[in-house]
Amino acid sequence: MIQVGILGATGAVGQRFIQLLTDHPEFELRVLTASEASAGESYRAAAKWRVDSPIPERVADQTVRRTEPDAIPDDVDLLFSSLPSDVASEVEHDFVEAGYVVSSNSSNERRATDVPLVIPEVNPEHLDLIEAQRANRGWDGALIKNPNCSTITMVPALAALEQFGIERVHVATLQAVSGAGYSGVSSMDIIDNAIPHIGGEEEKMEAESRKLLGELGDGEVQYHDAAVTASCNRIPTIDGHLENVFVEFAEDPDTEAVAAAFEDAETIDLPTAPDPLITVFEDPERPQPRLDRMVGDGMGIAVGGIQETETGIKFNVLAHNTIRGAAGASVLNGELLAEDGWL
Ligand code: 11C
């Protein structure tokens, strides 16, 4: 078993990490860290547990450690990070310099030229950027990132359609409140409301999508040249981001060809990868967050509403934002790191 830890284990994504790493077939969860204020407490006392299953017994009484390299046992090989982005750069660098491999969900450095931004079913070859990263920064460890949850929801579907030559993408999101962490979930302000702007989200979707779909060459990623425009909205659902996507292509695929491309999208042979990667609904009222966010144990991508438009194709896509879109994405990247021999 590969010994792993979680940096930032008490937050909304940290709790999902715990849920997904309990009884994982390859990873043994050894270490939990949190802010200075929680260090020394039991996990049960430190975390305000909100995940939809009880705190695993073997985690509840573990002592939460400081988020510093000298608090981590030497035999831990892989750290999953859900640190707040304002502290993550500095703290993650400390761990990577100390030789740890960090699979991070935090949004800092996703666009750095030598940081792999990876969805294993889409661009596993981008992990090779680790060589450039080690050469540039003199690190023994490695830092890899998964994208933002709204980006992860859309990009596997776009990758399946790449065969038709994607030229332009417009997307409008309907994002769940759990994407905003505890304060989002506990806020009642959003009931009977929708918020037509989520700070920074649109830029992330636009840039991260083009990096994920880009080609790796000469030690860096050449971004895909499709134009991507995003409009990101918060709605009062708890979990599951739903997105309306409009795509223009070089070719002129019909709805049958698009549905077949989604159904044929290749998954990857890793323990928590969903099979199929994409589930296609014919009912135009699906997918819906409450009904469909757990497709593929929360790791699948659900699409529906495929229709022709005057300029191309439109469809709806849904994924679970804190599983597929956050903790599950980092765990899957960890499985890829193990499979490809980076640990
Ligand atoms: C939201 N997508 O729903 C955001 C949360 O870049 O990882 C995740 C932010 C990120 O508000």
- The pLDDT, as a whole number, for residue 181 is 77
SS3 313: strand
The predicted-structure confidence for 184-215, as pLDDT tens digits, reads as follows 666 656 788 899 999 999 999 999 999 999 99
Dihedral, 307, 305, 173, 205 alpha carbons, nearest 10: -60
**Residue 63 carries which DSSP code?**
B
- List, in sequence order, every residue forming a beta bridge with 221; answer none if it has no partner: 216
Task: Give the number of the atom of ligand 1 that is nearest the alpha carbon of residue 150.
Answer: 2
pLDDT for 182 equals 63
Q: Where are the alpha helices (DSSP H) in the chain?
A: 12-21, 43-46, 57-60, 85-97, 129-137, 149-161, 181-186, 201-212, 255-263, 289-292, 328-339
Distance 148 CA to ligand 1 centre (A): 5
- Rounded-to-integer distance, Cα 93 and Cα 209, Å: 25
Query: Between 328-339 and 12-21, two packed helices, what is the crossing angle to 10 degrees?
Result: 50
Left if phi > 0, otherwise alpha if psi is -120 to 50, otherwise beta: which for 211? alpha
Cα(150) to centroid(ligand 1), Å: 7
* pLDDT attached to residue 190: 77
Pairing state between β 27-34 and 241-249: unpaired
Q: Give the chain's residues under pLDDT 70.
A: 182-189
What is the reported pLDDT for 218?
A: 86
CATH 3.40.50.720 fits 2-148+326-339, yes or no: yes
**Alpha-carbon span 246 to 243, nearest angstrom:** 10
pLDDT at residue 216, rounded to an integer:
96
Residue nearest to atom 7 of ligand 1 (CA): 148
Q: How far is the CA of 342 from the centre of ligand 1 (A)?
A: 27
HSE-up (13 A, CA, CB side) for residue 141:
19
Distance CA 222, CA 200 (A): 22
232 in catalytic set? no
The tens digit of pLDDT for each residue in 111-120 reads: 999 999 999 9
Q: What ranges do the domains of the chain cover?
A: 2-148+326-339, 149-320
Question: Given this model, what pLDDT does residue 156 score?
Answer: 99
The complex scores an ipTM of 0.97
Q: Active site residue: 126, 224, 241, 320, which one?
A: 241
CATH match of 149-320 with 3.30.360.10:
yes
d(CA 79, CA 7): 7
Å from CA of 199 to ligand 1 middle: 9
Protein residue with its CA nearest to atom 2 in ligand 1: 149
Give residue ranges with CB within 6 A of ligand 1: 107, 148-150, 175, 179-180, 198, 201, 204, 321
Distance of CA 238 to the CA centre of its chain: 17
Nearest CA to 168 out of 133, 108, 135, 209 is that of: 209
- Tell me what pLDDT residue 32 has: 97
Verify whether residue 149 is a known catalytic residue.
yes
Same fold, 2-148+326-339 and 149-320: no
The residue whose C-alpha atom lies closest to atom 1 belonging to ligand 1 is 179
Q: How far apart are the first and last CA of the chain?
A: 12
* Distance (Å, whole) CA 172 – CA 232: 6
- Cα separation, 28 vs 260, whole angstroms: 38
